[in-house]
Amino acid sequence: MMNQLFEEVAGLCREREFLETVRQKAHYELQDIELLGRVLDAVLESMGNASFSERNTDRTDIKAVVMTLGSGVDALQEEYLKKGELSEAYMVEVLGSEILLQAYGAYNRWVAKKTDFVVERYFFLGDPARAEYSLEKLPGVLRESGLQVSCTQGYCMVPKKSVAFFAKMSPDRKVICEGICVGCGRQDCPNRMEKNMQERGNSMLDRPLTYGYARIFGL
């Protein structure tokens, strides 16, 4: 059963604005919107075991977080591929990635609602600037999450539409999460994501591929 956080995400993704944002970013034509909508319905239907996990670390202000859309999305994509429906299979990839991105804002809101803290920023595994978050920690983080998520020897997560990160908490409720662009060296980027993009839950598919995005897309 889909947990409450992903029920909120699913609700956001059923809004027309979400589908139109995906269409524009992926350069689909207006006539493709009907097929894109049908695939979105199938993706949301396949997310029955979408879930997230939050665990304490050795620092009281840092949480280890794992989020996944579940194995059903992978199975749906494989089904399309077996049928030779390549357009639909690619749509699953595009839609699944954007749904995961929406989950960041939902997680921020969940923390603010359920605890006395807010999310201040994220740290992604594999960031070369932070040895304490080395990619070698990924298998342990996934095991401790309690979710049905694992990774290959090359650190590709299974199910594919999964992400692991560390979230820094702050007791100052005026703090706004800096978003997943933090850590990207391109400070002069004209399309740099606004600091409060995550909190507002806006779409982020129309942004350049940053380090945080790369972690989500498995690159």
What pLDDT shows up at residue 207?
39
Q: What is the spatial distance between Cα 39 and Cα 3, in angstroms, rounded to a whole number?
A: 21
What pLDDT shows up at residue 190?
34
* Per-residue model confidence as pLDDT tens digits over 127-152: 888 888 999 999 999 999 999 999 99
Structure tokens belonging to residue 88: 């639909």
Whether 202 has a pLDDT exceeding 60, the answer reads: no
What pLDDT shows up at residue 2?
65
What pLDDT shows up at residue 177?
79
Structurally, the chain folds into a number of domains equal to 1
Q: Which helix (H) or strand (E) segment is 163 a member of?
A: strand 162-170
Mean pLDDT over 189-215 rounds to: 42
**CATH number of residue 199's parent domain:** 3.40.109.40
Angle between helices 71-82 and 33-46 (to 10 degrees): 130
Whether 210 has a pLDDT exceeding 80, the answer reads: no
DSSP 8-state symbol, 166: E
Task: Record the pTM.
Answer: 0.81
Question: How many Cα atoms occupy the beta-carbon half-sphere of 74 within 13 Å?
Answer: 13
Q: Which domain holds residue 39?
A: 4-217
Q: What is the spatial distance between Cα 152 and Cα 116, in angstroms, rounded to a whole number?
A: 36
Nearest to 125 by CA among 98, 161, 157: 157
* Per-residue model confidence as pLDDT tens digits over 97-113: 999 999 999 999 999 99
